[in-house]
Amino acid sequence: MSSGLKQRIAGAFVLGALGLIILPLLFDFADPNRIDRNSKLPPAPEMEPVSVAKAERPAAVSDTPLSAEIFDIERSTESTETDGKSHGLNQQGLPNGWILQVGSFEEKASASGFVNQLRQQKYNAFSKRVEVKGSTRYRVYVGPKISKGRAQTDKQNIDKAFNTDAIILNFEP
């Protein structure tokens, strides 16, 4: 063999060896679709179950439903333009409120139907049974409202939509 051929073969081996060492450093030949099945999550901690005591009703709290106390409409009085209570707190430290008396019906079914119509229009409506001059009536109310302006706006909208003449009452909780 000639010396030039020997040098070429030796050079090819040196370049091949360098290629085997340097090419893996330059390029990542890992399969991108390969899933790493080694978990890097730590093991779950050891936990003791905690028992929580059941809540008990305080002795000072009565079992009567609150709706009767909240909607005691008999104490509400008609609001006037000059009553000066458009905002602020009352003597009990509660915000002044207003409620609309929208209608009064002799039949409970009529009152319930009107309440449902108002609720479909997104008004907070309810009815209350009252005794008027020895006869039973079912009054329909909307509210309570914390803003007298909103109560007046609702009165105008309800009067126009349902052809009524609602009364704005001072709400006494």
Q: In the 8-state DSSP scheme, what is residue 98?
A: E
In-domain check, residue 137: yes
Q: Residue 99 maps to which CATH number?
A: 3.30.70.1070
In-domain check, residue 90: yes
**From edge to edge, which strands make up the β-sheet containing 97-105?**
77-78, 167-171, 97-105, 135-145, 125-132
Predicted pLDDT at 11: 93
In-domain check, residue 117: yes
Predicted pLDDT at 80: 55
Predicted pLDDT at 10: 92
**CA-CA distance, 94 to 83, in Å (whole number)?**
17
In-domain check, residue 2: no
Predicted pLDDT at 12: 93
In-domain check, residue 37: no
How many structural domains compose the chain?
1
- pTM higher than 0.75: no
Distance of CA 87 to the CA centre of its chain: 26
Residues of the chain with pLDDT under 50: 82
In-domain check, residue 130: yes
* Residue ranges making up the domain that contains 123: 67-171
45, with CB counted inside 10 A (0-12, 13-18, 19+), is: exposed
Tens digit of each residue's pLDDT (9 = 90 or more) over 34-64: 777 777 888 888 999 999 988 888 888 777 6
In-domain check, residue 151: yes
